[in-house]
Structure 1
């Protein structure tokens, strides 16, 4: 059933917590997991129903090891896969929260013959009932393609949850409008965007595109990211972020579409309500309807694969 056909009626506001996750030297694995629990406890205190951790979050564990190559780093992180899944499964069950546990690098299911590209950068969504859904990053950055042994994902999915229909776009994914439009057509109400950007320019690309996707598809986008620094870890050495929850720039939302935004580069969480009733009001009574007012017949007259003029 398409977005225009769905009826959103009596659901209560759904609070989302987006994490500005602070990295720095770790003394033990327990310290890493204690930091995770503190963020979740803060989200619980804010009565959040979902928490979004950032891309490459488990890369924080690299601070426990000696400097290594990207290939070695991927294999090192892969060894935490079972523990990562079991711990977040337990945390989701104990708290009753939907947890987007950042992204984690692993090689489960990767083709064994792809020796030089044998890992995935995958976001995992943990449900209180024990279910786990994953989204492999579809659009690898030029650096990830050039310097990391990573394979891209190849699918889109929307998940039915207690807070609405949820989809995932990982960092660079959000910079491609086609993917979010596909997810909107699949019925997404909320896009969760775990990101990792190490400089202001990268952050603002992801931030502006997150807000653009919210406007053009008339849905919510929750953006999380990494802050802080680990100078001795080449793979995740520094983070720049201002996490936020974004909506269309139209009634009944704030004129700038910003429901909440953090303090730049502070280790914290940011919370806002992704109210499905307000989203339905925007889709039916907004001043503009960019999702519904598309003109596919016009666009189809212009071939997508034309060579760009030099």
Structure 2
């Protein structure tokens, strides 16, 4: 199978002068990815949080409602950009309340990733593992559904930031057939980034698949919800033949706005799973593990 390029974005936040400036920034990243031949691109978690720089300071509830008002425009614009470029776009994550249970008051928004296809299809995934801060201080509901989506590049699943720190989730989507995990993230400090980065690489090793990690960088000191970001976007593979010893296919410079690209060669994944030095995807002992699981 022909390998296709994957692009992961290090998206720079900062003061915005208008909504159009935000959308134009996204188009520039897409234009760069298109020039690199990418057929799949991953934008970061809390991507539309950048729009909060256009508003006065708000509490978390107000910020969620403010972002929710962009939902239709977010979907329309990304669908159009995917159609025009021919690139499948993971449009980061967006905070909204569509489909939230009626009658909920304190928790009524989702942190959801949307995957836009050139033919017009839209798939999505709600963050399942909310961070302690998201549980405590945000009016967010967790997702409860895993899915794998067929793309031109391969079978992809989505794990949003903190989700990648739970090996069970990635194993579930790997068992469902995922060959590539897309991990849009938002980490405001280096420690958070390295947790997500190390876990992304671990999931690639454990499940013998690709992981594409994207994140926010920069500063918005007047926006409490998304005040700063730290990231080195990357494309990772198993640390085993025929891949590089360190499993790194591409990685960005810390906190530099731009994209990183690498080919997703599914034939190499097949080779790794059948002829690698180790086979963690196959050599599990679930019947043993089950005897040690507490009910």
Same fold by TM-score greater than 0.5: yes
**Which residue pairs with 2:189 in the alignment?**
199
RMSD: 0.6
In structure 2, the partner of 1:40 is: 30
Match among 104, 107, 121 for residue 111 of structure 2: 121
- Unpaired runs of 5+ residues, structure 2, are none
Query: Equivalent residue for 2:157?
Result: 167
1:85-130 CA-partner distances (Å, limit 9, x unpaired):
0000000000000000000000000012111100000000000010
Aligned pairs for 1:87-166 (under 5 A) are 87-166=77-156
CA distance in 2, matches of 1:147, 1:261: 32
Question: TM-score, with normalisation over the residues of structure 1?
Answer: 0.95
Q: Secondary structure at the match of 2:57?
A: coil
Structure 1: 5+ residue runs without aligned partners? 1-10, 306-310
Aligned residues: 295
Aligned residue runs from structure 1 range 7-18, under 5 A: 11-18=1-8
1:188 to 178, 192, 211: 178
How far the C-alpha of 1:304 sits from its partner, in A, is 3.2
2-side partners of 1:140 and 1:175: how far apart? 11
**Alignment-derived partner of residue 65 in structure 1:** 55
Displaced runs of 4+ in structure 1, greater than 4 A? Answer: none
The residue matched to 1:302 in structure 2 has which SS? coil
Aligned twin of 2:284: 294
Residue 246 of structure 1: how far off its partner (Å):
0.2
Q: Determine which of 15, 20, 25 is the counterpart of 1:30.
A: 20
Deviation of the 1:162 alpha carbon = 1.0
Alpha-carbon distance, 1:240 to partner: 0.2
Deviations 1:187-231 (A, max 9, x none): 000000000000000000000000000000000000000000000
- Name the structure 2 match of 1:232: 222
Q: Give the TM-score normalised by structure 2.
A: 0.99
Instruction: From 213, 221, 241, give the equivalent of 1:223.
Output: 213
Counterpart-to-counterpart distance in 1, 2:291 and 2:41: 42
Structure 2: distance between partners of 1:262 and 1:114:
41
Aligned to 1:4: none
SS class of match (1:49): strand
Instruction: Give 3-state SS (helix, strand or coil) of 2:38's partner.
Output: coil
CA distance in 1: counterparts of 2:186 and 2:139, whole angstroms: 18
> Which runs of structure 2 are paired with 1:222-261 in the superposition (5 Å)?
222-261=212-251
Aligned-pair distance for 1:55?
0.1
